[in-house]
Structure 1
Amino acid sequence: MSEIVNVNTQNFETLLQSDLPVLVDFWAPWCGPCRTVSPIVDELAVELAGRVLVAKCNVDENQDIAMRYRVMSIPTLIVLKNGAEAGRTVGAMPKPQLRAEIEKYL
């Protein structure tokens, strides 16, 4: 099973240096659509293990990271390659559609 990294200001820069693409799920505990997407992201972390590193960023606790990536609404999922944004999805979507969006950047 792939480990999901909980992002914070202390580990975020290290995460950007990953050889694998990084999928960052920007979420908050009070966000209903985030609670819908979260288990899908967990499943994709397992299914795409070895191809992508999955991280979750609580925007309430890490506002500086959310602002850095101009996250205006949640859930927002951003794929980072070599430390730069490669792709972004906003809002809840079905698992097959989300997987297809992520795989474009792998």
Structure 2
Amino acid sequence: MSFQLSILKILAGQPEGRARLAVLRNYLTVFYTSGPEWTARMKRLAERAPGLNIFGQKLVERDSGHWIITEGGRAFLASLERAAGTITQERASERAIEETIEKPLAS
């Protein structure tokens, strides 16, 4: 489940909420090999989303080689993060992560 949440987070930070699979893989590699913070955060969020299925729940769609977060996916992610009640230190870490997501990676 935390892997699927990572995909939602990455797509939410992309222009138009869409990215090619290669770009998603690049971000996932960076986040899951950069230290324990990302993994721990995604696991905490995943505890609030048992049974998550990003395709079955129509939170993410596939189109012409891209994965696209839907409005429902954005709303789900926002409500999940509000419910998590992140603390100040996590917000600072998240801002750094969001800045990384917004920078283009080579695909």
TM range (shorter): 0.3 to 0.5
Higher strand share: 1
TM-score in terms of structure 2 length: 0.32
Q: Which of these two proteins has the greater Rg computed from alpha carbons?
A: 2
Higher helix share: 2
TM-score in terms of structure 1 length: 0.32
